[in-house]
Amino acid sequence: MHISGGDTVVIAIGDKSTNMPGIGAAGGNAYVSNVTAEPDPGYQGYIQDGTSLEDYSFMEGTPFHEKTDIRVGRFYTKVYFGP
């Protein structure tokens, strides 16, 4: 999975009972490969890892300008790009 673009918002909700991320694999992050985000030139990317729009932390390496692996551990993920 590859998320790219300019003004882009992607929200993925996984399984709250198991804390399984919405972006990744049902087997867990150990089975995830090639899940990336890449903002267009002139944009920067942000990845939120949390349990809701209000309860989150930013993934390490946020904000970013280049292709970045998505590594989250909670079930509510928001990826977005902005100027």
Distance CA 75, CA 37 (A): 17
**Residue 66: pLDDT over 90:** yes
Q: And the tokens for 34?
A: 């090639």
pLDDT in tens, 8-57: 999 999 888 887 787 765 555 665 667 899 999 999 999 999 999 899 99
pTM of the model: 0.86
Quote the number of domains for the chain: 1
DSSP 40: P
The residue count for the chain = 83
Q: Which domain holds residue 10?
A: 2-82
